[in-house]
Amino acid sequence: MGSLRRLRVLAVVLVLIAAACSESPANAQRPPPGVCAALGSPLIGHDGHIMACSGKNLVAFERNGSTAWIAPLGHTCKEDISPVAEGEEIYLVAEDKVIKITPKKLHTADPPSEVFFSYNSTPGRSEEIIGLATSGVYSSLLVTIRNRGLFSFSLRTGLQWSAGPMLAYFDCRLGCKTNISGCYFISAPVVDQWEETVYLSNTEGKLYSLYIRSG
């Protein structure tokens, strides 16, 4: 019920900001600076803040709809991909990058946002970041890249492993069967923190279950 109430507050915030941005200057309410761009898919943080990206900013709202803080990103975020949180840090997709935001660095000498991962696509191929998730058990970030695969990054040391949609089991092809060259993951990874398993699907409608247990 608490999460539902917070989402209702966010819906009110979205309506108010949209109205303020569309009104004439004489009658407009003043929205938070830099928030007249559309707000993206939201995240409810561990501290109760409701967060959504807007253009080149990540905006956090209090439960009553007031603005808690705004973190500049330096890059235009992808509004259809929700940010994810791990501990005190937030990760989101902006252009061809994953940006890490540390809110406690706001109003300090350290920049609150930095590029965690940047991807240069192969010329002539449609390769973009289409989803991400965190695995708290291993302090890792999982990133799905179109036409490439699933990549796991340690939040401290970098790339850990990667996996593609093509599987072979005793000479039997699994996962991709009809169009191998055009088969790839199309969903954001979904992590079951208790079972230490990640789920995602491919272009042929196959659902994958990957165990990420160590040792």
Of 12-16, 46-50, 112-116, 189-193, which gets the smallest average pLDDT? 12-16
Parallel, antiparallel or unpaired: strands 50-54 and 207-211 = unpaired
Tens digits of per-residue pLDDT, 176-198? 777 777 888 989 999 987 878 89
Does position 158 have pLDDT exceeding 80, yes or no? yes
pLDDT value of position 19: 43
pLDDT value of position 87: 85
The closest alpha carbon to 44, from 23, 63, 57, 66, belongs to 63
* Residue corresponding to tokens 């092809």: 173
Instruction: Give the C-alpha separation, 115 to 157, whole Å.
Output: 14
Instruction: Give the C-alpha separation, 65 to 29, whole Å.
Output: 14
Query: Could you give the percent of the chain with pLDDT greater than 70?
Result: 76
CB 195 within 8 A of CB 169: no
Tens digits of per-residue pLDDT, 23-35? 434 444 455 555 5
Confidence bin at 8 (pLDDT 50/70/90): low
Tens digits of per-residue pLDDT, 85-114? 998 899 999 998 999 999 999 999 999 999
Query: Could you give the percent of the chain with pLDDT greater than 90?
Result: 36
Those residues whose C-beta lies under 8 Å from the C-beta of residue 134, and which sit 6 or more positions away, are 84, 85, 86, 91, 140, 141, 142, 191
Confidence bin at 64 (pLDDT 50/70/90): confident
What distance, in Å, lies between the first and last C-alpha atoms of the chain? 38
Confidence bin at 170 (pLDDT 50/70/90): low
